[in-house]
Structure 1
Amino acid sequence: MKALVLSGGSGTRLRPITHTSAKQLVPVANKPVLFYGLEAIAAAGITDVGIIVGDTAPAIEAAVGDGSKFGIKATYIRQLAPLGLAHTVLIAREFLGDDDFVMYLGDNFIVGGIDAIVDEFTGSRPDAQIMLTRVSDPRSFGVAELDPDSGAVRSLEEKPKEPKSDLALVGVYLFTPAIHEAVASLKPSWRGELEITEAIQWLLDNDRTVNSTTITGYWKDTGNVADMLEVNRLVLEGMEQRLDGTVSDDSEIIGRVVVEEGATVAGSRIVGPAIIGAGSSITGSYIGPFTAIDEDCCVDDSEIEYSILMSRVSIRGTRRIEASIIGHDAEVTPAPRVPRAHRLVLGDHSKVQISS
């Protein structure tokens, strides 16, 4: 079995962060979200991985390399325009050959990995297997309708205005080579894309077998700020305390806090779960729960909580930043006036003045 990992999306819902960073490389607990997916694929025993890339190809390729650090062999496949999930299957035809494969959306996060569904698929080998989860507003997803008696998949629809159920497709699909015939039959949808939901519907209409698994565990499409912060919170909650860096005697560490080797904490209070990346300096500051501070950041005389700081961020003399994502090399400094709290989504190399 092979894997096809989709990492070509532009991430419009995460702008301005994604003006300069690939959305799949935005860190969760100081590790790019894409890496969690690659690790899950490797853990399922799949080593031959095609990675679909777009405009951010250089950044993705630099981060993943040949894939050996994940235990996989990475092959990069360029998608010149975002023409849909089914289009990625079309352009990856030579790589996929006649092998079964798993399609994994590179900005999705699934707790527990994909081992169980891969085993289920290989055991029964339907033409397609989809993962479903119940959501409060299915209009933003592909939606499945199941037969109320048998539970079989009856129909699929992409982003319906009037959903037939609350069962959304999770960004993991498993296929036999039968999907290639389905994809070849498609025409662009009203969105101008080749929809994978329509390809799976083609399989259903042509009496092919499509199985579904409804998951009850945690799944997130990390396409917006709120979801990124929520996934960051979840991952941080699973960490154990580890203080490999330097923590001064006048600092207070409470709960599950990770201070990476090379990081320094002086005169500060850190309440976990939180992580301080290698080379970062925390001085005279408060770092609250669910905060991930990446490598080589500087936080001085400031308060931060429930936030993600990407590498080389500098924050000085700032009171109360929360629910924020701050991009690489951003600077936040005091300005004459200050609200009680700040909520920031800053792109790379931003410079913001905030009063102390």
Structure 2
Amino acid sequence: MKALVLAGGTGSRLRPFTHTGAKQLLPIANKPVLFYALESLASAGIRDVGIVVGAHARDIRELTGDGTGFGLRITYLHQSRPLGLAHAVLIARDFLGDDDFLLYLGDNYLQQGVTDFARLAAAAPAAARLLLTPVADPSAFGVAEVDPEGNVLRLEEKPDSPRSALALIGVYAFSPAVHEAVRAITPSARGELEITHAVQWMIDRGMRVRAETTTRPWRDTGSVEDLLEVNRHVLDGLEGNVEGKVDPHSTLVGRVRVAEGAIVRGSRVVGPVVIGAGAVVSNSSVGPYTSIGEDCLVADSAIEYSVLLPGAQVEGAARIEGSLIGRGAVVRPAPRLPQAHRLVIGDHSKVYLPS
């Protein structure tokens, strides 16, 4: 079995970060989101992985290389612009050949990984197998209607009146039959070849499409809020470890990971927190669920439930929370300007100004 990982989307909900980098490379606990997907595939015993890349192909190639570091063999497949998940399958035809494969959205985080799903797909073949999860608002997702035996009857994309609460997670298993389906469908109203349309095409022609349901944590990290929540979840499983320098005037509480080359001085850090190599935390308070990237500076500040990308600087900030601060960004207090009052006062008025 092979895998096809999609890492070519524009990430419009994460702008401006995705103007300068791939959303799949944004960090969760100081590790790119994409790495969690690749590690999950390797753990499932998959070795041949195709990564569909777009505008930020060079950045992804530099970090993931040929896949050796993950125990994988990676092939890069260029998509000139994001034209839908089914289009990604279409351009990967030569790489996929006639093998069964997993399709994995590279900006998704799935706590349980895909080992059980991949084993089931191999042991009980079907034309397609979908991983689903119950959600509170299915109208925001692709939704599957499933019969009591686990057969998928119908798929809908963000329906106004959902037929079920089972949302597509973004992990699929396909047989080679999908290649005929992606060639047969036409672009949707938004100009994309939708994988849901391809799967529905298979269902309409009597092919067997199965559903697997999970209630384990899953997130699409396509927004700042979701990325921070995944960061919180991953940090909940963090083990504390201090390899960097922590001076006697600092206090570490709970599970705190200080990477080699990082410095903490005169500060209080309450975990779970991860501090990357080369980062400096000075005279500051760092609260739970914060990831501080490599070479960051946090000085005379208070911060919690936030993610700092490599090279970010936060100085003199009274309190920051629920924030995503980009690479090389600088946060400092504004200069104090002389106070002034601009008045338009009618005849015979009285105005009392503070001295």
Q: Is the 8 A contact 1:158 1:195 kept in 2?
A: no
Amino acid of the structure 2 residue aligned with 1:54: G
Match of 2:347 in 1: none
Deviation at 1:150, TM superposition (A): 3.3
User: TM-score, with normalisation over the residues of structure 1?
Assistant: 0.93
Match of 1:292 in 2: 291
Moved more, 12-21 or 215-224: 12-21
Amino acid of the structure 2 residue aligned with 1:59: D
What are the within-5 Å matches in structure 2 for residues 94-173 of structure 1? 94-147=94-147, 149-173=148-172
* Structure 1, unaligned runs of 5 or more: 338-356
* Structure 2, unaligned runs of 5 or more: 337-355
Q: Is the 8 A contact 2:145 2:153 kept in 1?
A: yes
Deviation at 1:336, TM superposition (A): 4.4
SS in 1 for 2:13: helix
Q: Is the 8 A contact 2:132 2:214 kept in 1?
A: yes
Q: Structure 1 residue runs of 4+, over 4 Å off? A: none
Amino acid of the structure 2 residue aligned with 1:133: T
What are the within-5 Å matches in structure 2 for residues 33-112 of structure 1? 33-112=33-112
Match of 2:203 in 1: 204
How many Å separate the matches in 1 of 2:150 and 2:85? 25
User: TM-score, with normalisation over the residues of structure 2?
Assistant: 0.93
SS in 1 for 2:317: coil
How many Å separate the matches in 2 of 1:150 and 1:3? 27
1:300-332 CA-to-partner distances (Å, cap 9, x unmatched) read 100110000000111111110110001100011
How many Å separate the matches in 1 of 2:210 and 2:164? 17
How many Å separate the matches in 2 of 1:202 and 1:216? 27
How many Å separate the matches in 2 of 1:17 and 1:89? 27
SS in 2 for 1:80: coil
What are the within-5 Å matches in structure 2 for residues 176-191 of structure 1? 176-191=175-190
How many Å separate the matches in 1 of 2:188 and 2:220? 22
How many Å separate the matches in 2 of 1:331 and 1:193? 38
Q: Is the 8 A contact 2:146 2:211 kept in 1?
A: no
How many Å separate the matches in 1 of 2:54 and 2:204? 32
1:12-45 CA-to-partner distances (Å, cap 9, x unmatched) read 0011111112100000000000000000001111
Answering whether residue 283 of structure 2 is matched by residue 278 of structure 1, we say no
1:137-166 CA-to-partner distances (Å, cap 9, x unmatched) read 12221110112x434211001222222111
What are the within-5 Å matches in structure 2 for residues 261-276 of structure 1? 261-276=260-275
How many Å separate the matches in 1 of 2:196 and 2:222? 19
1:228-277 CA-to-partner distances (Å, cap 9, x unmatched) read 00000011110111011100111000000000010000000000000000
How many Å separate the matches in 2 of 1:168 and 1:207? 22
How many Å separate the matches in 2 of 1:99 and 1:55? 28
How many Å separate the matches in 2 of 1:46 and 1:284? 46
How many Å separate the matches in 1 of 2:95 and 2:263? 46
How many Å separate the matches in 1 of 2:150 and 2:56? 40
Aligned length: 336
SS in 2 for 1:162: coil
Amino acid of the structure 2 residue aligned with 1:194: L
Q: Is the 8 A contact 2:244 2:263 kept in 1?
A: yes
How many Å separate the matches in 2 of 1:328 and 1:150? 49
Q: Is the 8 A contact 1:29 1:236 kept in 2?
A: yes
Please, what is the CA RMSD of the aligned residues?
A: 0.9
How many Å separate the matches in 1 of 2:139 and 2:80? 27
Q: Is the 8 A contact 2:150 2:210 kept in 1?
A: no
Match of 2:212 in 1: 213
1:86-112 CA-to-partner distances (Å, cap 9, x unmatched) read 000100000000000000000000002
How many Å separate the matches in 1 of 2:150 and 2:48? 33
Q: Is the 8 A contact 2:151 2:208 kept in 1?
A: no
How many Å separate the matches in 2 of 1:152 and 1:105? 23
How many Å separate the matches in 2 of 1:146 and 1:117? 17
Q: Is the 8 A contact 1:257 1:273 kept in 2?
A: yes
Match of 2:234 in 1: 235
SS in 1 for 2:76: strand
Answering whether residue 25 of structure 2 is matched by residue 25 of structure 1, we say yes
How many Å separate the matches in 2 of 1:11 and 1:136? 23
Q: Is the 8 A contact 1:297 1:312 kept in 2?
A: yes
Percent identical pairs in the alignment equals: 57
Match of 1:317 in 2: 316
Amino acid of the structure 1 residue aligned with 2:276: G
How many Å separate the matches in 1 of 2:160 and 2:59? 36
SS in 1 for 2:201: helix
